[in-house]
């Protein structure tokens, strides 16, 4: 999925599109995952300092992730359309920082933008690279809803396995020897 | 100006650094994984067993965001719905340490590691919480440090 690690440009901003949050979906998400009264009950929510229903931060972030996945799929389609083989995205090892800045209320439209701020080959997983991503979410009034600093895996196109690893891999293909090596590791 | 929803709950002054909250546990079914992934994380390795086997995860696993959301749910049930919580500020250093596979049971503890009054809003305090989420084999699944606002019972008392 998406571009190869080598083709990812640092500091290029990708617009991920927007999402309008309805009261119904705010309540549905929060009922499952974050059932606090200001996320699930419009009447009781009036007593909170928000003065009404707001989306769970985890909800706005999960939608942001969905927008990112959709953008990566669209990029994959675009590359295939150009006759190129797209790269491969892997799972994420984590999130360095997530700051919730402004609440999301029913009817708010949130616009998401992704920027790769840095990249380097992974030390722990040969053949993969690490991407350091910044994701920002802004509402229709231009207020920052949240800012996230995420880490993601991306496959290297030009990776060549070191000779030692190649040799070990070849040895595991020898029937009896391979069994012993796999058992030992 | 007392909040009728939270007036009988524990407030900022009632919390102590070092308090450990037991989250209980929750089992993650294949149906739960696919339902969440369809809506929020439709990578093939969260939707399809064959694609998942071929991926770094090695099998069908929950979205990391779902693991976080389920951990948050356990925190709400066991802590945030019992205190005068007034929303999350964000989190730091979230690490997905091992994937959550179909039918894994996750659970763990949250520890209060810091309590401080808000400098800009005297009616609030900030509780900082460390998550330690593990699977049924006690292997670590997720850690993170979450900051949440809590109403003070006596805002007029200086911090």
Q: Is residue B5 part of a domain?
A: no
- Cβ contact A62–B40 (<8 Å): yes
Side-by-side strand order, sheet with B105-117: A13-20, A109-121, A128-138, A144-155, A94-100, B85-96, B140-151, B124-134, B105-117, B20-27
* Boundaries of domain holding B47: 12-151
Which residue in A has a C-alpha nearest to residue B91's C-alpha?
A: A98
Q: Is residue B3 part of a domain?
A: no
Q: Is residue B126 part of a domain?
A: yes
Among the listed residues A111, A96, A166, A167, the one whose alpha carbon sits nearest the alpha carbon of residue A141: A111
Cα of A130 to nearest chain B Cα, Å? 14
User: Which percentage of chain A shows pLDDT scores above 90?
Assistant: 63
Which residues of A fall within a CB distance of 8 Å from B90? 57, 97-100, 146
- Name B22's bridge partners: B109
Which pLDDT does position A185 carry in this prediction? 47
Which residues of B fall within a CB distance of 8 Å from A125? 56
The residue among A127 and B102 whose pLDDT is bigger is: B102
Which residues of A fall within a CB distance of 8 Å from B47? none
For residue B99, give the CATH number of its domain.
Answer: 3.10.129.10
Which residue in B has a C-alpha nearest to residue A47's C-alpha?
A: B3
Banded model confidence at residue A92, pLDDT cuts 50, 70, 90: confident
Q: What is the pLDDT of residues A103-143, one digit of tens each?
A: 999 999 999 999 999 999 988 888 889 999 999 999 999 99
Tokens at B149, concatenated: 């606002």
Number of domains in chain B: 1
Please tell me if residue B91 touches chain A, with a CB cutoff of 8 Å.
yes
Cα of A97 to nearest chain B Cα, Å? 4
Q: Is residue B159 part of a domain?
A: no
- Cβ contact A57–B41 (<8 Å): no
Please tell me what DSSP assigns to residue B137: T
Task: Please state at what angle helix A23-33 crosses helix A57-81, rounded to 10 degrees.
Answer: 110
Q: Is residue B1 part of a domain?
A: no
Q: What is the pLDDT of residues B15-60, one digit of tens each?
A: 999 999 999 999 999 999 999 999 999 988 899 888 888 887 789 9
Which residues of B fall within a CB distance of 8 Å from A151? none
Q: Are A161 and A127 in contact (CB under 8 A)?
A: yes
> How far apart, in whole angstroms, are the C-alpha atoms of residue B100 and residue B118?
36
Neighbours of B43 (CB within 10 A): 21
> How far apart, in whole angstroms, are the C-alpha atoms of residue B7 and residue B11?
8
What region does B156 belong to: left with phi over 0, alpha with psi -120 to 50, or beta? alpha
Q: Is residue B2 part of a domain?
A: no
Q: Is residue B123 part of a domain?
A: yes
Query: How many residue contacts between A and B have a Cβ separation below 8 Å?
Result: 108
Q: Is residue B46 part of a domain?
A: yes
Tokens at B96, concatenated: 């997905």
Q: What is the pLDDT of residues B110-150, one digit of tens each?
A: 999 999 999 889 999 999 999 999 999 999 999 999 999 99
Domains with residue ranges and CATH for chain A: 5-157 (3.10.129.10)
* Phi and psi angles of residue B107, each rounded to the nearest 5 degrees, phi first: -175, -170
């Amino acid at each position: 999925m998406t571009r190869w690690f080598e083709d990812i440009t640092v500091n290029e901003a990708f617009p991920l599109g927007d999402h309008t949050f309805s009261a119904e979906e705010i309540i549905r998400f929060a009922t499952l995952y974050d059932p606090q009264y200001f996320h699930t009950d419009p009447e009781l929510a009036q007593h909170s300092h928000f003065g009404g229903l707001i989306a769970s931060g985890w909800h706005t972030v999960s939608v942001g992730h969905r927008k990112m996945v959709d953008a990566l799929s669209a990029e994959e389609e675009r590359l295939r359309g150009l006759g190129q083989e797209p790269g491969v995205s892997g799972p994420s090892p984590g999130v360095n920082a997530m700051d919730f800045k402004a609440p999301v209320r029913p009817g708010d439209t949130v616009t998401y933008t992704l920027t790769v701020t840095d990249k380097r080959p992974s030390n722990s997983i040969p053949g993969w690279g690490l991407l350091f991503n910044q994701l920002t979410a802004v509402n229709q009034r231009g207020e920052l809803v949240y800012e996230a600093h995420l880490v993601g895996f991306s496959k290297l196109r030009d990776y060549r396995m070191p000779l030692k690893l190649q040799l070990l891999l070849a040895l595991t293909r020898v029937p009896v020897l391979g069994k012993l090596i796999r058992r030992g590791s | 100006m007392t909040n009728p929803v939270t007036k009988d709950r524990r407030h900022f002054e009632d919390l102590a650094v070092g308090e450990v909250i037991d989250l209980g546990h929750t089992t993650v079914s294949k149906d739960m994984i696919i339902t969440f992934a369809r809506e929020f994380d439709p990578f093939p390795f969260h939707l399809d067993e064959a694609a998942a086997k071929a991926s770094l995860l090695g099998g069908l696993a929950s979205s990391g965001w779902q693991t976080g959301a389920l951990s948050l749910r356990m925190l709400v049930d066991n802590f945030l719905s019992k205190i005068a919580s007034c929303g999350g500020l964000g989190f730091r250093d979230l690490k997905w340490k091992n994937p959550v596979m179909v039918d894994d049971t996750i659970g763990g503890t949250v520890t209060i590691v810091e309590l401080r009054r808000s400098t800009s809003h005297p009616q609030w305090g900030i509780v900082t919480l460390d998550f330690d989420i593990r699977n049924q084999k006690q292997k670590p699944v997720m850690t993170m440090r979450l900051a949440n606002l809590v109403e003070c019972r006596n805002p007029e008392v200086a911090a």
